[in-house]
Structure 1
Amino acid sequence: MVTLHRGAKWKIAVYAEQNHALPHFHIECPEHRSSVTIEGLSEIAGGVPKGVLKEALAWAAAHQDELRATWKELNP
């Protein structure tokens, strides 16, 4: 697992696992977790509070190349 960014109460992480679904990252906060596609920035599982989602997606939109590269490195 690589944490790419930490917000005030949330973080964005990419995991390395066998049989991973399509390229995605996780938004994690104390009691919530969401999986979001890298290409479309759409939630595919879970859910985080709307304010967290808005902040995290803004960061992700500006860092999609970094997310893609990290995904490819961890999930060759």
Structure 2
Amino acid sequence: MLRSGTCVGAIVREAEHAESKPDFKHKMSIAQKEINESIYWLELMKETDYLTNDKFNRMNNDATEILKLITSIIKTAKSNG
């Protein structure tokens, strides 16, 4: 969780200075995969009672919003060429 959760920001930051539009889209797609992996780890921690329902819900809501933002960015980048 620590690895996948923290690398999302690093990859997005790297995408800010992408060498090309295809490079930007590729980096954002990697960030999308990493936040999706983070959601998986959150679900696993909830199911094994490592996280309370309340803590899971807060963290999962944040992660889901980040996933939606990244997905929207990717869709916009693809439609703009």
**TM-score greater than 0.5 by the shorter chain:** no
Larger radius of gyration: 2
Using the size of structure 1 for normalisation, the TM-score is 0.29
Higher RCO (C-alpha under 8 Å, 6+ residues apart): 2
TM-score with structure 2 setting the length: 0.28
